[in-house]
Amino acid sequence: MNDMKQIALVTGATSGIGEACARRLHKAGYRVIITGRNAIRLNALKDELGSDVLPLIFDVRDREAAEAAIASLPEEWQQIDVLVNNAGLALGLEKEYEGDYHDWDTMIDTNIKGLLYMTRAVVPGMVERGKGHVVNIGSVAGDAAYANGNVYCGTKAAVKAITDGLRIDLAETPVRVTLLKPGLVETRFSEVRFHGDTDRAANVYKGIVPLTGDDIADAALYALQAPAHVQIAEMLILATHQASGSVIYRS
């Protein structure tokens, strides 16, 4: 029965880690709300997965649109059990003093403010119902800055601090909070960072077997399926030949 299944909402589900999480959660028996800006990609994913998938097309940077999207959910989709705050991106790889203002605004508005907007819209319902789990997708980049990563690293450091703060604020409730910190994952991440330069993006993954979106989705599911008394607070997930955000061995 549909009303017996848990509901997961995944932001940024049009590609990469978000799409992989949506697929993995659906396979695990969740009803999945998939969100993003690209209606064509979202509807294609819904058509592929079939039943128990609901697309919501909006930009997490737009607080009013995010609030309206959550408010528009049909009654049978309103009790969200899992929120995967995945929507995020890096733009540019310039020195901080040479950075692009627009890139900065987009990263800050998406990676930080978008995550906060979705948390504010969804978590109160979890607290009221006495159950829920928030999975925030951070990054190894949030642990220490790397060359030319400046603002992106700063946004992911903020995600860690915000996630830790949320966990503290929810300690008196049964709602759990997990931070996943991926390293090098081969998705559209680098293509977006380099504004569509596919050749430059491909070089990021040369000489190493990177992680995949499925690897991060598996980690998310592991945290979600832990016993109710177990909270997987944080996971750092790296490729075998990656030691940190800036140390990568390439063959």
For 148-174, the pLDDT digits (tens) are 999 999 999 999 999 999 999 999 999
What lies within 8 Å, CB to CB, of 205 at 6+ separation is: 184, 186, 190
pLDDT at residue 1 is higher than 60: no
- What is residue 251's DSSP assignment? -
**How far apart are alpha carbons 106 and 245 in whole angstroms?**
22
In 31-182, the DSSP E strands lie at 31-36, 53-57, 82-85, 133-137, 176-182
Sorted by where each starts, the structural domains of the chain and their CATH numbers stand as 2-237 (3.40.50.720)
- What is this structure's pTM? 0.95
DSSP H or E stretch at residue 121: helix 115-129
pLDDT for the residue numbered 201: 84
* pLDDT of 36 strictly over 90: yes
pLDDT at 71 over 80: yes
Rounded to an integer, the average pLDDT of 221-248 is 97
Residue 2 has pLDDT above 80, yes or no: no
- Residue 199: predicted pLDDT: 87
Q: What is the pLDDT of residue 197?
A: 85
Phi-psi bin for 207: left (phi > 0), alpha (psi -120 to 50), beta?
left
Token couple for 176: 């759990």
Q: What is the pLDDT of residue 171?
A: 98
Active site residues: 152
Range 175-187 average pLDDT: 96
What is the residue whose two structure tokens read 């607070």? 233
The pLDDT value recorded for residue 3 is 55
Q: Are 192 and 148 in contact (CB under 8 A)?
A: no
DSSP code at position 211: B
